[in-house]
Structure 1
Amino acid sequence: MTTPAIEPFRIDIPAADVADLRARLAAVRWPDELEDAGWSYGIPARRLRPLVERWRTGFDWQQQQADLNRLDQFVTEIDGRRLHFNHLRSPRPDAMPLVLVHGWPFADFRSLIEPLTEPASSDDVPGLPFDLVIPTLPGFGFSGPTHRAGESDTSRSAELIKELMARLGYQAYGVHGGDAGGFVATQLGRIDAEHVVGVHLNGPITIPSPGEDASGFDERDRRMLASLQDWSRRDTSSYAAVHSTRPQTLAYALNDSPVGQLAWVADVVNSYAHEPIDDDALLTQVSIGWFTGTIGSSFLLYKESGQWGAQSERSGVPTAVAIFPGDSTIRAIAERRHNLVRWTIHDRGGHFPALEAPDLLIKDLREFFGGLR
């Protein structure tokens, strides 16, 4: 059987699609809003209206598209699934291959690319160079929507990335992931331990399995456990409840309304980010979801992935965990599920460190993988 080709890819959104988006933004029918409700009922108009106006009149999609097209990107087919990815080689011959795996809703690692592929050495942080492979998970963006149940399972995504790295000819590589991407990264370490030299995670999700022993937790872990147990009762968890139970119903609304799609994503970002995220970075990601029609299929990993609270086989690959403000990772559980060799707590950043504190994430990646050379 012939292996499907890896083909160069360029983003080329038709001008008619951009015009249609702007027309829809201009025709929005705004709902009523309670006085002085703030964020307690969801994203307020005082935040959303300026974002919508920026998207309609000030946001330059053509410039963003040009910036994205400066980065080498490709598509291939693996087991009948289209997979889009960036492949960015360092000019240095000693570069380590590194896979960066995104979560929901962000797939924006642009701030990491130049520092990681062409690092400048310093006295305290040696400039380990990387060849970067940045896949777009099934159901997201330019990988296109999924069409069969189970294609968005994070374990399935790990299998696709394993095959991709083999096709690219890499014999040893590292993996980084956050949010749902952390499940993909960890699973890659399990199924491709022969080639994965290390796994780096930011704020991995450590939901205890039913009946899991918590008697040995220290004070911090007990606080994190209480936070996780309370999470399902918080209003900030409502998005995940809908994604994991009725994703198709929500998809009809958000695939038809760009304002609805923006409101949904921006509300989640506000709930979990601890540092300001650039509005144009946010609008770029929402634009990709809009133009590709993948907002609905991007929800499916919540319903189809079985790892959220399951007790998984322990990964034996050396694993580093970076904790940013707002993370509720329980170290004792992380140690049970991973070969934990590094644990770093940062005092700034948040759930989206590539956009909130890229300098800290870059330093953490360099130090961890530099120690594995």
Structure 2
Amino acid sequence: MSDEIRDFRVEIPKTALDDLDIRLRHVRWPDPEPVDDWSQGIPFDYVKTVVDHWRTSYDWRRCQEALNQYKHHLTKIDGVDIHFMHIRSPEPDARPLLMTHGWPGSIVEFMDVIGPLTDPVAHGGEAKDAYHLVVPSLPGYGFSGKPAATGWGIEKIATAWDSLMTRLGYDRYFAQGGDWGGMVTSVIGAQDLGHCAGIHVNLVIVGPPAEEIMANPTPEEQASLVHFATYQEQGSGYAEIQRTRPQTLGYGLADSPVGQMAWIMEKFQGWADDAKAPDDNFDCDRLLDNVMIYWLNNAGASSARLYRESFGAPNIDPVSIPSGCSIFPNEIITPSRRWAEQRFKNLQYWNETDRGGHFAAMEVPELFIAEVRSCFAQMEL
């Protein structure tokens, strides 16, 4: 049947891990950078340190076991296998929540928040804050299939995610996301197919502010514009490469685990909260878990294609269903509430946190959980 849901386990063969070990033992290194910071990219000495840890100390089987404590499934939607975790809460009144990752993240981003969100009582919380979680891998990412044709932009993914939730029996649900997940979640709200009761995003994509707003920006809005301009000038090259030439990029990412690791881990430095190196704010093994999701699935090119589909002219259609936004201070884009209200017409929750960055669920999980709970406490199914 086309709507069949199949069980899935994460089982990486030893041959794949042996191949990785060989590649990590025979790296062809570039010259070191002629500067003493990250301004030219991820530094040589840092990469060598991470690679040495990856080769000698890192244990993929630990990550695989952690993932397999949850139920994984596959289901085909529009010809593409969609992988997802489905973690039902022990609480009978738990509400369904769809959570979507982005690039260069994966389902690994949510590992520290799954327990408290599904079983809050066991983690010192209250039963009323329980959710049944559905955590999919984006098409072309992780253990999902790779689209063989163009057209899988955020609009198609949003429609597919709604189909996934109804296929699982959830006629009403909430949705949450950051990065691409935030853009997909916003489009779920804009499409309003009758099943999503409310959304929460921690990457807030809005259109250009109205002229009357821009005529008198607040100091905070001015700082936000400067922050985003710095990103566009110094930090957005990866996105243009992925938008324009994902296939060319893919050869290097498919062939070199160090190249794939560096391409990803640089962002965990630039987009975290005042980090000097990624493992100032994240556990190094968890960072490598995320890298492994890309490497083991050869997803360098297939994940980049989402930029080809949707980055050039992102969807900014108005959202009328109940919405909530959390602004973490070192996010790529930090719009003000009045900017956001131009798109989110039914904005029921807004908060600007005092710490955290782009990978909030992984960097500040307790704060992320609090934001999700506070947002959806304002909404009803």
Length-normalised TM-score, structure 2: 0.91
Provide the residue aligned with 1:291 in structure 2.
Answer: 296
Secondary structure of 1:283 counterpart: helix
RMSD: 2.2
In 2: Cα distance, 1:363 partner to 1:49 partner: 37
AA paired with 1:147? Answer: A
Question: How far off is 1:279 after superposition?
Answer: 0.9
1:195-344 equivalences under 5 Å are 195-206=195-206, 208=208, 214-215=214-215, 217-234=217-234, 236-274=235-273, 276-305=281-310, 308=313, 312-327=316-331, 328-331=333-336, 332-338=338-344, 339-344=346-351
Bigger drift between 37-46 and 259-268 goes to: 37-46
Question: Following the alignment from structure 2 to structure 1, what is the Cα–Cα distance between the partners of residues 350 and 124?
Answer: 22
Q: Structure 1 pair 78/237, CA: closer, same or farther in 2 (3 Å)?
A: same
Structure-2 change in CA distance of 1:326 and 1:121 (3 Å)? same
C-alpha distance in 1, partners of 2:255/2:212? 43
1:354 pairs with 2:354 = no
Q: How many residues align?
A: 369
- List alignment gaps of at least 5 residues for structure 1: none
Q: How far off is 1:214 after superposition?
A: 2.3
CA contact (8 A) 1:52 1:259 kept: yes
Q: What is the CA distance between 1:112 and its match in structure 2?
A: 0.8
CA drift at 1:168? 0.6
Structure 2 CA distance, aligned partners of 1:8 and 1:124?
Answer: 31
Q: Distance in 1 between matches of 2:253 and 2:144?
A: 19
Going from structure 1 to structure 2, the CA distance change for 1:345 and 1:16 (only over 3 Å counts) comes to: same
Contact 1:162 1:192 in 2 (8 A): no
Distance 1:118 1:86 in 2: 16
Q: Quick one: distance in 2 between partners of 1:125 and 1:316?
A: 30
Distance in 2 (alpha carbons) for counterparts of 1:180 and 1:31: 31
- Flag the 1:78–1:34 CA change in 2: closer, same or farther, 3 A: closer
Q: How far is the alpha carbon of 1:273 from its aligned partner?
A: 1.2
Residues 7-66 of structure 1, C-alpha deviation per residue, up to 9 Å, x if partnerless? 010011110110000100000011111344321211112211111111111111112111
Q: Deviations over 1:241-278 (max 9, x none)?
A: 21111111111111100011111111121111126111
CA distance in 1, matches of 2:302, 2:36: 31
1:127-178 Cα offsets, whole Å, 9 max, x none, are 4110000010001010032211122x11111111010011011121111111
- SS of alignment partner, residue 299 of structure 1: helix
Percent sequence identity over matched residues? 39
SS class of match (1:232): helix
Matches within 5 A, 1:82-121: 82-107=81-106, 108=108, 109-120=110-121
Structure 2: segments with no counterpart, 5+ residues: 276-280
1:19 corresponding residue in structure 2? 18
Q: 1:370 aligns with which of 357, 368, 377?
A: 377
